[in-house]
Chains A and B, each alone.
Chain A
Amino acid sequence: MQDKIDQAIQQISKVIIGKQDQIKLALSCMLANGHLLIEDLPGMGKTTLSHALAQVFGLDFSRIQFTSDLLPADMLGLNIFDPNEQSFTFHPGPIFSQLVLADEINRASPKTQSALLEAMEEKQVSLDGTSHPLPSPFFVIGTQNPLHQSGTYPLPESQLDRFLMRIQLGYPDWQAEKQMLQEQNDDVTQQIEKVMDLEAFQQLRQQVFTVHVSDNILNYILRLVTFSRESEQFPNPLSPRASKALLHAAKSWAIIAGRDFLIPEDVQAVLPAVAEHRLRTSLADFTGQTSLSNKLLEAVDPLAA
């Protein structure tokens, strides 16, 4: 199983060059059955990453470009009267996919946003009194553009934490970008091979639950969240939902690292992605400033008994 994970990482690295950590984070987010928010400038490979993830696990993929006039029905689907059958039939929208890329999620109106977030939470779509279950697995990768905020509806703080992780891709380094420029083939789908079928993927997800968590690790996580609550440096302390998310994401990270138990480094690796958008909810301080999650990490000793 482990080599399959390594293979998957290697496959994705072919198109997203030099971003091992982000790829691993995205993978662990999927393994932890969480939704991913990618926040970056245009052209950094957000879409490419989502494509590659779908490709590697053989998931069907759809992309919804969010605009200010996008209506919930455009995304969820709608009941249309069929004159032959004399009845309404449901025409599912693009959200009925295993992996949905919600591009520029903050461009849509709050109404549409909340329809998406509801679907993410409930894993089903309710329309005219009937609920239509979404496919399983169901992942949403939302992207946000941190700059150019005019005419957008930033996600409300209360809904940001529906995303398990928030990651940023950032610019590639010199070597990586050079390598990328040397690549001839631009088509993602052609480059990437499927390494896992759905069954293997689900198995892997089950494996996450079996990761052993010692008391020491639980105490470490508790110290982290408690510190965020007791220190005045954190305007938005971490909620119990956050601590649960942290644990789950760390477990997936351990699986990716090939371990069946958690060590402090697992928690530390996922904490910035899991906690940063919960600690600091506004987009405004995207650039500059030391990150709050790093501050939190540096304040707590993982070994203190």
Chain B
Amino acid sequence: MIYLNRNLSHLLLSLALVILSVSLFEPVLSWIQVLVFCAFVMRISLYLGIQKHSPSIRTLNLLALLSGLVLAYFSWQLGVLLGMVNLLVMACSLKLMQLRNQRDYYQLVASVLFLISCGFIFEQSIIYSLIFGLCTVLTLLSLLAHFSPTIPFTRLNKRLLIMTLQAIPIGILLFFGMPKLAPFWQMPTSQSAETGLSDTLTPGDIANLSQSTELAFRVTFDDQIPPVQERYWRALVMENFDGKSWTISRQRNQLKRNNFVRNDEFRPRLSGPFYRYEVLASASNQRWLFAMDIAVPDDQRSDGAIWQSYDYQLMSKKPLISNFKYRVKSFPQEDLNFTDYAFDRQINRSIPTNGNLRTRDWARNLRKMAGSDRAYIEALLDHFRTGNYRYTLKPELMPVDQIDTFLFDKQAGFCAHYASAMAFALRVVGIPARVVAGYQGGEMRENDYLSVYQYDAHAWIEAWVDESGWQRFDPTAAVAPDRISLGLQAAVEDEGSFLDNRTFSLAKLKSVAWINAVRLGLADLDYFWSRWVLGFNTEAQKDLFKTLLGNLSTGRLAALSLGTFAAIGLLLAIFYLPNWHPRKVHPADKIYNDAQKILSSYKIHRAHWQGPLEFAQKVQSFCNDKAGQAFTRLSKLYIASQYKKSDGNHELAKKQIRMMRSELRKLKTALNNPG
């Protein structure tokens, strides 16, 4: 019964809710987590009998009102999606404290199931999928315990296990066979999932990024794998400098928009050696993609989804709200001179009118001494190489004249500092220069695929020299060659600042062999998951159908879909067949039931515990005489056929049935004509 406090189903449901809310650690506000935990403790104490009563409805109403007000206050910052998810978790926890009747319980079950599906908005990795799966199973177990409270727990588990195993083939069939429909509504973008590069580069940003072990993207090369020094993954080009931060130029954005409207896509004619590879980008809610220079989409599908722009960037036509897979061809030896020099030159030489005066003087002097642009660039790189510069992830704050402070006072920084300073020094003397943000390097997994993490984020510069187009220069490489050749961890080894804001991170313990093996194993698993499960979209499904069917004609597709449904139907039929088997109804039962139905229409119902004799008496007292007598005779015949000893006399039985039928008719007429 629902009112019992020692209710296993409630305990299980609250456990599911707790696990769920903990797994949604980031989106759910911490005080709501505490609320959930309180409700859980309440349920436990009710279950163990420490407490006898759940809190009164008045207390809960007050709590709900207060929580609602606080949540409403926070919702301004949270946005609609997070606000709603938080509201739902809060409502669930309050409902859990109460649970007065069946309806409360069903509501809570439905809400928890809905919350589980909401969880996939925030997390889709294999670990979270397992956690959400566990929550679903717990909820189902709770439902099972609710409906059969007397069955021991072990038997419940067994039954649930069997049912889950039965559901798995259906799930697999649905996953592979169901046509993947486009979503009916836009998936709300979640704020908390916005990670990755930012479109503003104020030195200081990338230091934070370097500390994140989240996966940025994965690359699978078709054949040749470029050496680590060549693995510069372009993501963003920043051409506007306001003295403090580098941003994407407004003119460039304007141009891109115009090009897009005119459908004028950048299509360089490329030749020479190339790398072919497939990139699986993690969801970032942004549109920029990652590729090595000069990249063009490699197949029809990628081409359709990607827009190329004149700054050699690849953009997705839709924000990456989930993992996105595309194929790219990169031509590393091509010069970047396919674009309109005049435009590039115009926006890439402007500097703010004041600020960083020391750098301006120093740069002009250096340029004079060098003689040519190329020599000047060499001199700059040489300056970084031989000067007293240091690569660090913990630079000091440089609030004013950041470049001056960096170049002449602090002389310590990370890639963004160096890139920013060098690009500025070039612009000062009139050489077009810009900052490119992206990733550098990546971790190779047994020549199989390359994982690039957020801590591989990097910034370098491009300068236009000698009419040979944009050329890449990486001042960071001059200062800390290890950063490029060995990765971030080697570059800051002395400092010990690699991932030092993470108390526990497997990536930090790379040196311990077995931990590294575990970490790489997990990465493999995650790769498999993202590629084959999360990446199984419409196109992948089409590919699968193609390998199954050969060519894709409409008829064959339809047959496949129908076949899938038929298979599912068959599986369900096997499950339900025992219940569908028609039960043999005794003819006497049937006639008696008919009589009951007729009487019901005259508002005379048999209480479901009443026996036939008692009911006949009741009918007699409620009906006119004729009907009452007819029904009494019918009841007597029914009793005789159902309970009396039958001597195997079929004739007699048949006669009884005939008589019952005639009594039924008499009953009908008597009821219709009460006169």
Chains A and B come from one and the same complex: yes
Task: Please list the residues of chain A having a beta carbon within 8 angstroms of any beta carbon in chain B.
Answer: 212, 214, 216-217, 229-233, 260-265, 268, 297-303, 305
Q: Interface residues of B: mostly helix, strand, loop or mixed?
A: loop
**Nearest A residue (CB) for B4:** A232
CB of A305 to closest CB in B, whole Å: 6
Asked if B609 contacts A216 (CB within 8 A), the reply is no
Q: Does B586 contact A (CB under 8 A)?
A: yes
**Nearest B residue (CB) for A299:** B609
Q: Which residues of chain B in 144-200 are interfacial with respect to chain A, using CB atoms and an 8 Å cutoff?
A: 149-150
Asked if B644 contacts A264 (CB within 8 A), the reply is no
Q: Does B430 contact A (CB under 8 A)?
A: no
Please judge, given known A-B contacts A230-B150, A231-B150, whether A265 and B611 are in contact too, CB under 8 Å. yes
Asked if B643 contacts A297 (CB within 8 A), the reply is no
A-B contact pairs, 10 of them (CB 8 A): A212-B644, A212-B645, A230-B150, A261-B645, A262-B643, A264-B613, A300-B609, A301-B608, A303-B611, A305-B585
Q: Does B258 contact A (CB under 8 A)?
A: no
Task: Please list the residues of chain B having a beta carbon within 8 angstroms of any beta carbon in chain A.
Answer: 1, 4, 149-150, 583, 585-586, 589, 592, 606-614, 639, 642-645
Question: A261: which B residues are within 8 A, CB to CB?
Answer: 643-645
In the complex, what distance in Å separates the CA atom of A233 from the CA atom of B610? 21
Asked if A232 contacts B609 (CB within 8 A), the reply is no
Question: A229: which B residues are within 8 A, CB to CB?
Answer: 150
In the complex, what distance in Å separates the CA atom of A263 from the CA atom of B589? 15
**Nearest A residue (CB) for B644:** A261
**Nearest B residue (CB) for A230:** B150
Please judge, given known A-B contacts A216-B643, A263-B639, whether A232 and B611 are in contact too, CB under 8 Å. no
In the complex, what distance in Å separates the CA atom of A97 from the CA atom of B644? 38
Asked if A305 contacts B613 (CB within 8 A), the reply is no
**Nearest A residue (CB) for B640:** A261
In the complex, what distance in Å separates the CA atom of A248 from the CA atom of B270? 99
Contact partner of B613 (CB less than 8 A), chosen from A212, A217, A265, is: A265
Asked if B149 contacts A217 (CB within 8 A), the reply is no
Asked if A305 contacts B586 (CB within 8 A), the reply is yes
Question: A212: which B residues are within 8 A, CB to CB?
Answer: 643-645
In the complex, what distance in Å separates the CA atom of A91 from the CA atom of B645? 49
CB of A37 to closest CB in B, whole Å: 26
Question: A230: which B residues are within 8 A, CB to CB?
Answer: 150
CB of B638 to closest CB in A, whole Å: 9
Asked if B643 contacts A217 (CB within 8 A), the reply is yes
Question: B4: which A residues are within 8 A, CB to CB?
Answer: 232
In the complex, what distance in Å separates the CA atom of A216 from the CA atom of B608? 16
**Nearest B residue (CB) for A237:** B150
**Nearest A residue (CB) for B596:** A303
Asked if A297 contacts B645 (CB within 8 A), the reply is no
Question: B589: which A residues are within 8 A, CB to CB?
Answer: 303, 305
Asked if A303 contacts B612 (CB within 8 A), the reply is yes
Asked if A232 contacts B592 (CB within 8 A), the reply is no
Question: B639: which A residues are within 8 A, CB to CB?
Answer: 263
Asked if A302 contacts B609 (CB within 8 A), the reply is yes
Asked if A264 contacts B611 (CB within 8 A), the reply is yes
In the complex, what distance in Å separates the CA atom of A261 from the CA atom of B613? 13
In the complex, what distance in Å separates the CA atom of A260 from the CA atom of B609? 23
Asked if A303 contacts B592 (CB within 8 A), the reply is yes
Question: A264: which B residues are within 8 A, CB to CB?
Answer: 611-613, 643
In the complex, what distance in Å separates the CA atom of A194 from the CA atom of B50? 63
Most buried by B among A212, A229, A230, A302: A302
**Nearest A residue (CB) for B149:** A232
Additional pairs, 12, CB under 8 Å, beyond known A217-B643, A302-B612 = A212-B644, A216-B642, A216-B643, A260-B645, A264-B613, A264-B643, A268-B611, A301-B608, A302-B609, A303-B612, A305-B583, A305-B586
Question: B614: which A residues are within 8 A, CB to CB?
Answer: 265, 268
Most buried by A among B149, B585, B610: B610
In the complex, what distance in Å separates the CA atom of A299 from the CA atom of B609? 7
In the complex, what distance in Å separates the CA atom of A302 from the CA atom of B608? 8
**Nearest B residue (CB) for A298:** B609
Most buried by A among B4, B585, B592, B644: B644
**Nearest A residue (CB) for B148:** A230
Asked if B611 contacts A263 (CB within 8 A), the reply is yes
In the complex, what distance in Å separates the CA atom of A302 from the CA atom of B644? 16
**Nearest A residue (CB) for B583:** A305
Asked if A232 contacts B150 (CB within 8 A), the reply is yes
Question: A231: which B residues are within 8 A, CB to CB?
Answer: 150
In the complex, what distance in Å separates the CA atom of A297 from the CA atom of B608? 10
Asked if B609 contacts A301 (CB within 8 A), the reply is yes
In the complex, what distance in Å separates the CA atom of A301 from the CA atom of B612? 11
Question: A260: which B residues are within 8 A, CB to CB?
Answer: 645
For the complex of A and B, the 9 pairs showing the least CB-CB separation, nearest first, are A264-B611, A212-B645, A265-B611, A301-B608, A214-B643, A298-B609, A261-B644, A265-B613, A302-B611
Asked if A263 contacts B1 (CB within 8 A), the reply is no
**Nearest A residue (CB) for B606:** A303
Question: B607: which A residues are within 8 A, CB to CB?
Answer: 298
In the complex, what distance in Å separates the CA atom of A75 from the CA atom of B589? 55
In the complex, what distance in Å separates the CA atom of A154 from the CA atom of B52? 30
In the complex, what distance in Å separates the CA atom of A233 from the CA atom of B608? 19
**Nearest A residue (CB) for B639:** A263
CB of A45 to closest CB in B, whole Å: 28
In the complex, what distance in Å separates the CA atom of A300 from the CA atom of B609? 6
Question: A297: which B residues are within 8 A, CB to CB?
Answer: 609
CB of A299 to closest CB in B, whole Å: 7
Most buried by B among A262, A268, A303: A303
Question: A298: which B residues are within 8 A, CB to CB?
Answer: 607, 609
Question: A262: which B residues are within 8 A, CB to CB?
Answer: 643
Question: B608: which A residues are within 8 A, CB to CB?
Answer: 301
In the complex, what distance in Å separates the CA atom of A300 from the CA atom of B592? 18
Question: B583: which A residues are within 8 A, CB to CB?
Answer: 305
Asked if B613 contacts A214 (CB within 8 A), the reply is no
CB of A35 to closest CB in B, whole Å: 27
In the complex, what distance in Å separates the CA atom of A288 from the CA atom of B598? 38
Question: B149: which A residues are within 8 A, CB to CB?
Answer: 232
Question: A214: which B residues are within 8 A, CB to CB?
Answer: 642-645
In the complex, what distance in Å separates the CA atom of A130 from the CA atom of B607? 56
In the complex, what distance in Å separates the CA atom of A302 from the CA atom of B589? 12
In the complex, what distance in Å separates the CA atom of A264 from the CA atom of B638? 12
In the complex, what distance in Å separates the CA atom of A303 from the CA atom of B150? 25
Question: B610: which A residues are within 8 A, CB to CB?
Answer: 302
Question: B1: which A residues are within 8 A, CB to CB?
Answer: 232-233
In the complex, what distance in Å separates the CA atom of A18 from the CA atom of B585? 43
In the complex, what distance in Å separates the CA atom of A212 from the CA atom of B640? 11
Question: A303: which B residues are within 8 A, CB to CB?
Answer: 589, 592, 606, 611-612
In the complex, what distance in Å separates the CA atom of A299 from the CA atom of B589? 20
In the complex, what distance in Å separates the CA atom of A303 from the CA atom of B585? 12
**Nearest B residue (CB) for A212:** B645
In the complex, what distance in Å separates the CA atom of A232 from the CA atom of B9? 14
In the complex, what distance in Å separates the CA atom of A216 from the CA atom of B645? 12
Asked if A263 contacts B613 (CB within 8 A), the reply is yes
In the complex, what distance in Å separates the CA atom of A262 from the CA atom of B586? 19
**Nearest B residue (CB) for A294:** B609
In the complex, what distance in Å separates the CA atom of A128 from the CA atom of B85? 81
Question: A233: which B residues are within 8 A, CB to CB?
Answer: 1
Most buried by B among A212, A217, A260, A264: A264
In the complex, what distance in Å separates the CA atom of A229 from the CA atom of B608? 20
In the complex, what distance in Å separates the CA atom of A305 from the CA atom of B592? 12
In the complex, what distance in Å separates the CA atom of A31 from the CA atom of B639? 24
Question: A217: which B residues are within 8 A, CB to CB?
Answer: 643
Question: A232: which B residues are within 8 A, CB to CB?
Answer: 1, 4, 149-150
Asked if B643 contacts A263 (CB within 8 A), the reply is yes
CB of B596 to closest CB in A, whole Å: 9
Question: A216: which B residues are within 8 A, CB to CB?
Answer: 642-643
CB of A230 to closest CB in B, whole Å: 5
Question: A305: which B residues are within 8 A, CB to CB?
Answer: 583, 585-586, 589
In the complex, what distance in Å separates the CA atom of A230 from the CA atom of B4? 15
CB of B6 to closest CB in A, whole Å: 10
CB of A147 to closest CB in B, whole Å: 30
Question: A263: which B residues are within 8 A, CB to CB?
Answer: 611-613, 639, 643
In the complex, what distance in Å separates the CA atom of A264 from the CA atom of B609? 10
In the complex, what distance in Å separates the CA atom of A232 from the CA atom of B609? 19
